[in-house]
Chain A
Amino acid sequence: MLGLVTSCSTSTNEQATNVTEMTIYSGRSEEFIAPFFADWQAATGIKLNVRYGDSAELSAQILEEGSNSPADLFLSQDAGSLGAISQAGLFTTLPSDVAADIPAAYVAANREWVGITGRARVFAYAPVRVKTLPASVTDLTKSIYKNQIGIAPTNASFQAFLAALIENKGSGFAKTWLEGLQANGVKIYLKNSAIVEAIDKGEISLGLVNHYYIWEVSESLGRAINVKNGFFAPSDLGNLINVSGAGVLQTSAKQKTAQDLINYLTSPAAQQKFVTDTHEYSLLDGALPPTDLPTLDKIGAPSLDLKNLSNIKATQDLLIQVGLL
């Protein structure tokens, strides 16, 4: 059942009366998110004009558009691109009653964006070939994994993880680690799905991806694959939980409507739908995890302020420096 949280905030920014439609830039692919939009549209009668694209490309577009952007809401696949928009000062501060049930760890400290689903960093591996599971990301520079590892450095999730690494251990450490990987014959892929496929094919044995890719690849191939998810030891930086989230554009005239949509997406029913349909984690306390996976609190994610994931520049510069970008 759909439960729309009606908010009566006192500090709404502009809100047009009689909203009939709203514009969303969605970095989440149509296939996954469209059903949610359809449900909301049916319940509220408000037409959603959704522009689908890649999160980072859309964020670049919003940055170029600046205050002239027609977008009301930006739904992103990762915190990094949300952080970039926030840093450019293009998001509104969300009132405290929007997505009130999402734990603070998954919400921007300045409340300019909120997390909606959880995406855990894992290592996907081929059980038949990997006998010794790595306990830490730092293990990946060891010779037993020589030429066996795949990463996707252009991927936002990888960069988010790297940003966490830099934040926690410093860029010198991160640089050494990256160079260690390169020396260990790490293979570069453009997409996470390509990594999982490669593991299945036997090109590599282990790859740094997000947890839901084993489902995604298996569904698209139409068959089971010989790849499993593995987590590093608790508190290891490789266990980063990233979020997909949303923010409302400052220049939007439909702030309240956008907030309503965010509340819908963070409602228990919608959150459960995320777990079932897209195999992502719900961010609500006590929610069921995806099949065969530990709950969020059991993963032992490093304690890290997600806000710091928007320190993208340093991450990118480092990747450019070592030649991975």
Chain B
Amino acid sequence: MLTTSPARIAEPPSSHTQSQRGWRAVLLTSVGAVAGISMIPFVYLLVRASDKPFDEIVQLLLRQKTLEVLATTATLVICVVAINLVLGIAIASGLHFVHLPFRRLLVIPMVLPLAIPSYVFTYTWVALIPSFSGFAAAVFILSISTIPYIILATLAGLRSIDGSQIEVARSLGLNLPQTFLRVVFPQIRGHVSAGALLAGLYTMSDFGAVSLLNVETLTVSIQNMYRASYDRSAAAVISFVLIAFSILFVLADESIKGKSTQSQLLKSTSFKSPLIRKKYLRFGTTSIITAFALVAVILPFYVLLTRFFSNPVAIDWTSLATATISTVSVAALGAIIALVLSAPLGLLLSAGASRFTTVTNKIVVIAHALPGVVVGLALVSIGSKLGALYQTTFLLAFAYAILFLAKSVTSMSSSLARVPDGVKDVAATLGMNPWAVVKKVIAPIAAPGIGIGTILVFLTAMKELPATLMLRPTGFETLATQIWSSGSINRFNEAAPYALILVLVAAIPTFLISRPDKEDHSYLQESTGGPSERT
């Protein structure tokens, strides 16, 4: 145990740690910028709402109509989420555990509804049943629109469960339902909750379906106030009701995630218990899946195709092609911007959550509940002051990024969390500076999950309407705006070609997200019961 006298310093002092500190500062500032950007709609709403005198605000908040609309919205969200949970978990579990023909491909139709905007769903179902309208219809449409989120989330959770646990449970005397409830479900709770959160937030922010079906939710009410009333302040006040409700939702999700079992699985080999072959389960699962595919995919496609081919009005192929290119390019740009914005937050979150990053994360998620019209107007308000930047495709893409940032951020942070702990340290000792660690270790492992999140943003941006209407360059048409401008429900035939092309184009990224999981990717250690890959 000798101590020798201090020797010559071998390396220049502190230059490395300084650059590391510099990096951290850059990341923190970027995250701050992202938080600021996500706050834009909230600030806008505050400014507008404050135009009203306080007692008017209170009166507006407490009047019967507001409470009725809030009740309608709440009931709608609860119904949709409840149905989705039951159905989604059933379908996902069936796909994962039960032996079915073409098992791996069955996921694709389950997820395909993501390619279809809710207003197109509504159009097709009204075409099938002319009296299709009202609350129950809205629950139906929004359920089939959002169930893919829960199915994908549950599947991701199920894949992380060690099959041997199930074998043990069975050997201890638990039957299948008991095994599911006591062994499987607690471990997937966090994943399922994250999927339910996205489904609920989407339902809250949806405008297309509910307005066509005559159901007045908060979003419809807000839109009506903008549209029919020039009282932007009243609309802003009601928007806060929406925000409050979505905060409740986010908190509920937090508490569920907190209780879920955090399983640190360090399996070197995956053990997948053999698939169940019980007849009644196979029959049951097949029936549910077929019924869902029929209702959510086959029938809508059928309607779109027949309308397309029986269209009395000649199809303007040029405008169809232009709209398609416009849609794809601006949506892709939006997805890329979302990726860039979420990268610093995701990186910091993967290094360990601080209060700052957690708060930013929450702001981003809550902003996700805001209807497109609010974000649109907020950006009109700011954007019009930016001169040449206003009404450009870039600003529109930027609006998409703000609207859907939550999807990108959650997928990014959960993908980054899947990087095993010790790996980053080891990479450092093997000579990788922090940037090389990101490039050679973190990025390759997290890439698939991040890719999925980006694709999801792309997909959702393609379908967006209200913000697009406001912020697009004059004359710039997307497939969604073309569908909208074909007017009311009974002029659906004119909208059908655009709707069909939109769905077909959107089906491609949807297919990419739902690709059958390569079973041997079990090397990706699931370290928490947190948000899954595709949130």
Contact = CB atoms under 8 A, between A and B. Distances in A.
B475 A312 contact: no
A64 B485 contact: no
A159 interface: yes
A68 B230 contact: no
B65 A64 contact: no
Nearest to B48: A64
B224 A65 contact: no
A61 B488 contact: no
Contacts of A23: 474
Interface in B333-362: none
Given A57-B226, A220-B487, A65 B380 contact: yes
Contact of B230 (A56, A69, A221, A320): A56
A154 B228 contact: yes
Nearest to A52: B485
B509 to A, nearest CB: 28
Contacts of A52: 485
A29 B487 contact: yes
Contact of B377 (A60, A66, A323): A60
Contacts of B68: 323
Interface string B458-494: 0000000000011000110000000001011011000
Interface residues on B, range: 35 or more
Contacts of B211: 190
B487 A154 contact: no
Given A154-B224, A220-B487, A70 B390 contact: yes
Given A65-B384, A193-B488, A320-B234, A50 B226 contact: no
Most chain B CB inside 10 Å of its own CB: which residue of A60, A65, A68, A316: A60
A320 B381 contact: no
A54 to B, nearest CB: 6
Nearest to A316: B229
B232 interface: yes
B380 A64 contact: yes
B391 interface: yes
A50 B231 CA distance: 25
Nearest to A322: B65
Nearest to A80: B230
B103 interface: no
Contacts of B490: 193, 197, 217, 220-221
B8 interface: no
Nearest to A65: B384
A190 B64 CA distance: 20
A191 B488 CA distance: 9
A77 interface: no
A70 B391 contact: yes
Interface in A214-248: 217, 220-222
B483 to A, nearest CB: 14
A275 interface: no
Interface in B212-226: 214, 224-226
B16 interface: no
Interface string B191-227: 0000000000000000000010010000000001111
A325 B228 contact: yes
Most chain B CB inside 10 Å of its own CB: which residue of A53, A61, A193, A194: A61
Q: Which 10 A-B pairs have the closest CB atoms?
A: A65-B384, A68-B384, A154-B228, A316-B229, A51-B474, A323-B65, A49-B474, A84-B230, A64-B380, A56-B227
Interface of A: 23, 29-31, 49-54, 56-57, 59-61, 63-66, 68-70, 81, 84, 153-156, 159, 189-191, 193-194, 197, 217, 220-222, 312-313, 316, 319-321, 323, 325
22 contacts: A29-B487, A50-B475, A51-B475, A54-B227, A56-B230, A57-B227, A59-B230, A60-B227, A60-B232, A68-B387, A70-B384, A70-B474, A154-B228, A155-B228, A194-B488, A220-B488, A316-B230, A316-B231, A320-B60, A320-B63, A320-B234, A325-B224
